Structures are given as C-alpha cells and as structure tokens.
Amino acid sequence: VKPTVIDVGIYVNSIGPVSSIDMEYQIDIIFAQTWVDTRLRYNSSSTSMPTLTLNSNMVGLIWLPDTIFRNSKNADSHWITTPNQLLRIRNNGTILYTLRMTINAECQLQLHNFPMDEHSCPLVFSSCEYWRAHTHTHTRTRTHAHRRR
C-alpha cells in the first residue's frame, strides 16, 4: 500500500497569551491539509467546474486525515456564524481541507533568566492512528500577525 502524502499548512492568526504558571500558550490558526484521493477524480471541461466546494454538511462523507495536536491541552474549532471549515475537491482528485482552530498547547518554559527568557514553543501534530508507512506529512507555515488592542 502506497502512503498518502499530506501537505500541511499552518497559518497563524495570533499567538498568546503565554502562561508561565500553566506552562502553556494559546495559538489561533487556520490549519490546511491537502492530499490526493484518486477515487474522487471527475471529468471537467474548462467551461465546467474544475473545483467543487463542499459545505460543512458534506465534509463527513469523505476520508479526512486523522491529524491530532499531541501537545494540546485544549483545542476548539470555530463555529460562529457557520463552521469555519472549507473543503474543495479539484477534478484531478486533489483535496484541500481547512479548519480554523484555537489551541492551548503545552510549552515547557525554562525560567532560568526570568523575565528575560526566550522560549521556543512547538505545536506538535501527527496522525492519531496511522504510522509513517501509511501517511507522509509535509509542513509549511505562514504568520499573519494581527495585533489586538
């Protein structure tokens, strides 16, 4: 069996606050995953629809990667005013699935030089059920920092 290659993009809307007491940080992201499912290929002419956009009711009808955030303490998907998710299928079977999430993630802060410490707080994700022989993940990140006043 050939592994499914999943391209992952993390687009950061905001980071913070970081809690030195709880050893965690909050991050608001758009989590995008792209893969190919050849079973979903369809014929399309240039005048037809080369991309189908499915609403949130249809998302549960196709296979989705079972990606989890291993160091999350709490994660919420955004559902106001509608589910903040998007699923697009291209005529060649390429699927784009995006979801907006807010995650409280564990971060082992080293407070040796407090308050002048510098920290690196990872967001660790992987497949929940499948191991590397079945999925392969590529990652790209972008930051869209918006300051809150």
Supply the CATH number for residue 111's domain. Answer: 2.70.170.10
Residues 6+ apart with CB under 8 A from 95: 34, 35, 36, 37, 40, 62, 87, 88, 89
Q: Identify whether the C-beta of residue 86 lies closer than 8 Å to the C-beta of residue 98.
A: yes
For 2-47, the pLDDT digits (tens) are 888 899 999 999 998 888 889 899 999 999 999 999 999 998 776 6
> What's the number of domains the chain is made of?
1
- Is residue 102 over pLDDT 90? yes
Structure tokens at 61: 């009808």
Structure tokens at 80: 């106001």
Residue 120's Cβ-count burial label (10 Å; 0-12, 13-18, 19+) is exposed
In a domain, 148, yes or no: no
In a domain, 43, yes or no: yes
Instruction: Identify which has the larger pLDDT, 60 or 141.
Output: 60
Residue type for 2, please? K
In a domain, 138, yes or no: yes
Q: Which domain holds residue 111?
A: 4-143
Query: What are phi and psi for residue 129, nearest 5 degrees?
Result: -105, -35
Q: Identify whether the C-beta of residue 72 lies closer than 8 Å to the C-beta of residue 103.
A: yes
In a domain, 90, yes or no: yes
In a domain, 149, yes or no: no
Angle 125-26-99 from CA coordinates, rounded to 5°: 55
In a domain, 114, yes or no: yes
- Predicted TM-score (pTM) of the model is 0.78
In a domain, 80, yes or no: yes
Angle 83-85-90 from CA coordinates, rounded to 5°: 140
For 38-83, the pLDDT digits (tens) are 999 998 776 678 899 998 888 889 999 989 888 888 888 898 888 8
- Is residue 106 over pLDDT 80? yes
Residue pointed to by tokens 């497949």:
127
In a domain, 108, yes or no: yes
